[in-house]
Chains A and B, each alone.
Chain A
Amino acid sequence: MTNWKVILNIAKTHLLTKIKQTSTAALGVTFGIGSYITLVCFMTGLNAMLDDLILNQTPHIHVYNEIEPSKQQPVSLFDDVNSSFNVVHSIKPKLSQKKIHNAVPIIDFLEGNKNVRGALPQVKTQIFYVAGSIEIGGNLTGINSVEETKLFNMSDYIVEGSAEALEQTDNGILLGIGIAKKMSLKVGDRVQVSPINGGIFPLKIVGFYQSGIADLDAIQSFTSIKTIQRILGKANNYITDINIKLFDIEQAPSLAKMIEQQFKLKAIDIKTANAQFETGTSIRNLITYAVSITLLIVAGFGIYNILNMLIYEKMNDIAILKATGFSGKDVQLIFMSQAMIIGFVGGILGLLIGFGLASLIDTIPFQTEALPTVETYPINMNPLFFIIGFSFAMLSTFLAGYLPSKKARKIDPVKIIRGQ
């Protein structure tokens, strides 16, 4: 039977009479937890921002028709030379169409899959931007801009104008910001584009596109699927790419494989395409935790030291308590609760300070060409971090308090009383 009221009362009195040492120990924890929260919120915010930069606008699975050499050369179909040794020189890729055959039924089929959040058709082509006698090469992609906004955050990368405007304007174009600069164009101006197989089409600029990747912004523009089909002179089932977004990104590799087998198309999943990306994320996390744990270990040693000192100073008290009927366990609990109180107070303060600092960082302006949507330093304020931080504080103070308090438990009162 443990009499917590008495134990906590004694612990409280000890802490209050040694308020200086106690606050130093608690501040150590505060510092550790505060920096952990700040660091982890900032680092994961940064991670999320960098991930978003790639992942948000990247489909989980990209389906298209790859131009590649036929796996079976005609000679192998010919039975007469079957038994001989055939050498084929200068293999050329097969002339296949870029168009995905039966794209519309495939999209319908994919959207029926329960893992798929959405499958969007695109039409990609190379064009020239024409301004007077200047021709600049580039890519024009036909998209369903409203749906793209929903699934791939398209609107984050539209710096002027809007996704809806593209949908509503016939012959509209979302011009890459790099091209716009080169050609000194404004929203509302017209730009002429010319597909490779000839013809010139004037398109009205409804907005600018800025991905943050300069090379891309210097060539890439978007228009509606209808417009690009008209420019290319193709039917309205002409689709070159399908971008799929899943509910769970982990499903991407298996679904990609399934699509490749079932439709004889190329399907690239995001995990394969961006493997190096996860490495960066995990290293940043590693740094965050390494720094925080170091800080907490330092704080833990502070608590350990102070408790050790306190127990040394309180030898007499311990002897009296034991002589008057407190058990070793009671004495251990008295000192453990002191450690835990220090951890609790220090931890809560640390969470508050971490929250304050993170909120402060969240207001510091951070503007960069590369990231049009970001205005302040990114902060990811996840409640989980606060729970982890608090558990961290309690755990480290528990460990720091355990050894000294165990020593107090073992103190022999007779020795102390004799020593007087």
Chain B
Amino acid sequence: MSVVLQAKHINKYFRKPVLFHVLKDINFQIEKGEFVSIMGKSGCGKSTLLYILSTMDTDYEGELFLSDQLVTGQSRAHLSYLRNKHIGFVFQFHYLLSEFSVLENVMLPAKKLAEKSHQEIEHDAMQKLKILNIDHLAKKRASQVSGGEKQRVAIARALINNPSIIMGDEPTGNLDSHNAENVFNIFKQLSEEQNLSLLIVTHDEDFANKTDRIIQMGDGKIII
């Protein structure tokens, strides 16, 4: 089994307003095809950890590896490239570019990567939308679809470059149980069928229990 993501002795401090040790010696790894959830009390540092793992936050101590490559200390431009190619991120709030159509939102990361032609990208994007059952919304403006639909568009966008890992910060937090269930099933399917790794922060006990492994956090530390 190859390791997709590995965190070694990650420590993070917030210096303002007072010195605050948020993350304390975080060590764990995620293997290919593993579906992992992170749980823990509000304020224990889950989001903070996820921002570090997604390479958006570089202000930490310790080492982070993506597919055995050291990520810590790389240039910002290279980190952007890694995020673009290897990491799909789904936020708690459905972050879409509201002036673009659903399809364009999904295509954007692939266009940035520029490894495929426009036609191929469009075809891929339509396919991702189909997987998530929202292909009929492709031409709609992102601002004109419902919350649950937006969440699925965001997942489709996270999938477009076929990343090594998908990270989600309470991606079902805003959804009703039916839609949450739906999203879970999509994740499960992706991990089983496409051997995709997933790391999902959630407060939903049922959701977490159905994943391969639960990482319990408390007070900036990993408990289990």
- Given the complex, which residues of A lie within 8 Å of B92, measured CB to CB? 420
Chain A residues in 8 Å Cβ range of B67 = none
Which of A319, A321, A329 meets B77, CB within 8 Å? A329
> What residue in chain A is nearest B97 (Cβ atoms)?
A317
A324-B84 CB under 8 A given contacts A14-B99, A414-B51: yes
**Contacts A414-B56, A420-B93; is A325 near B112 (CB within 8 Å)?**
yes
Task: Determine if A45 is an interface residue (Cβ-Cβ < 8 Å).
Answer: no
Contact (A324, B77) CB under 8 Å given A13-B100, A418-B47:
no
Query: Is B113 in the interface zone, CB < 8 Å from A?
Result: yes
Q: In the complex, what residues of A have CB within 8 A of residue B213's CB?
A: none
Interface centre among A6, A13, A328 (most CB of B within 10 A): A6
Give B80-123 as 1s and 0s: 1 = Cβ < 8 Å from A's Cβ atoms: 11011100010111011111100000001101111000000000
State A316–B47 Cα separation when bound (angstroms): 18
User: Taking the nearest CB of chain A, how far is it from the CB of B145, in angstroms?
Assistant: 16
A315 vs chain B, min Cβ distance (A): 11
In chain A, residues 312-350, which have Cβ atoms closer than 8 Å to a Cβ of chain B?
316-317, 319-330
- Given A3-B111, A5-B111: A417 and B80 interface contact (C-beta under 8 Å): no
- A133 located at the interface, meaning its Cβ lies under 8 Å from any Cβ of chain B in the complex: no
Neighbouring B residues of A328 by C-beta, 8 Å? 76-77, 80
CA gap between A319 and B83 in the complex, in Å: 13
| Residue from B91, B96, B99 within 8 A of A17 (CB atoms) | B99
**Nearest CB of chain A from residue B73's CB, rounded to whole Å:** 17
> Would A320 and B95 count as touching, CB distance under 8 A?
yes
User: Does B54 sit at the interface, judged by CB under 8 A?
Assistant: yes
Residue A202 CB within 8 A of the other chain:
no
Which of chain B's residues has its CB closest to A326's CB? B112
Shortest CB-to-CB span from A288 to chain B, Å, is: 42
Contacts of B83 in A (CB 8 A): 323-325
Contact A316–B112 (Cβ < 8 Å) = no
B201 to chain A, nearest CB (A): 13
The one of B76, B85, B100, B109 in contact with A327, judged by C-beta atoms closer than 8 angstroms, is B76
- Is B188 part of the contact surface with A, judged by Cβ < 8 Å? no
Looking at the assembled complex, report how far the CB atom of B72 sits from the nearest CB atom of chain A, in whole angstroms: 16
**Is the C-beta of B204 less than 8 angstroms from some C-beta in chain A?**
no
Tell yes or no: A137 within 8 A of B by CB.
Answer: no
CA distance A319 to B96 in the complex (A): 10
Contact, CB under 8 Å: A325 / B54: no
- In Å, the complex CA distance between A5 and B56 comes to 25
* In the complex, A372 has a CB within 8 A of chain B: no
**Which of A325, A413, A417 makes the CB contact (< 8 A) with B109?**
A325
- Using a CB-CB cutoff of 8 Å, which residues 3-34 of chain A contact chain B? 3, 5-6, 9-10, 13-14, 17
Q: How far is the CA of A328 from the CA of B161 in the complex (A)?
A: 20
**Are B89 and A323 interface neighbours, CB within 8 A?**
yes
User: Per a CB cutoff under 8 Å, which of A6, A13, A323, A414 touches B99?
Assistant: A13
Give Cα A418 to B98, complex, Å. Answer: 19
Check if B57 is an interface residue, CB within 8 A of chain A: yes
Interface residue count for A (Cβ, 8 Å)? 28
- Residues of chain B within 8 A (CB-CB) of A14 are 99
Residue in B91, B98, B111, B161 whose CB lies within 8 Å of A6: B111
A325 touches B93 (CB 8 A): no
CA distance A322 to B56 in the complex (A): 8
CA distance A14 to B99 in the complex (A): 8
* Given A17-B99, A413-B56: A324 in contact with B157 (beta carbons within 8 A): yes
Q: Interface 1/0s, chain A 384-420, versus B by CB < 8 A?
A: 0000000000000000000000000000011001101
Nearest chain A CB to B4 CB, angstrom units: 17
Q: Provide the residues of chain A in CB contact with B161, threshold 8 Å.
A: 325
Q: Which residue of A lies closest to B87 (CB)?
A: A325
A6 adjacent to B108 (CB under 8 Å): yes
Point out the residue from A5, A10, A319, A325 that lies within 8 Å of B81, measured CB to CB: A325
Q: Which residues of B contact A324 (CB under 8 A)?
A: 83-84, 89, 108-109, 112, 157
Chain A residue at minimal CB-CB distance from B99:
A17
Query: Chain A nearest CB: distance from B222 CB in Å?
Result: 21
Judging by beta carbons under 8 Å apart, are B114 and A414 in contact? no
Residues of A within 8 A of B51 (CB): 414, 417
Interface centre among B89, B95, B109 (most CB of A within 10 A): B95
| Chain B residue at minimum C-beta to C-beta distance from A328 | B76
Q: A324-B89, A325-B81 are in contact. Are A319 and B112 (CB under 8 A)?
A: no
CB distance from B55 to the nearest CB of A (A): 10
Known: A3-B114, A6-B108, A6-B112. A327 touches B80 (CB 8 A): yes
Chain B residues, CB < 8 A from A319: 95
Name the distance in Å between A189's Cβ and chain B's nearest Cβ.
82
Which B residues form the contact surface with A (CB < 8 A)? 47, 51, 54, 56-57, 76-77, 80-81, 83-85, 89, 91-93, 95-100, 108-109, 111-114, 157, 161
Q: Which positions in A face B, CB cutoff 8 Å?
A: 1, 3, 5-6, 9-10, 13-14, 17, 316-317, 319-330, 413-414, 417-418, 420
Q: List 9 A-B contacts (CB under 8 A).
A: A3-B112, A14-B99, A319-B95, A321-B108, A324-B112, A325-B109, A325-B113, A414-B51, A417-B91
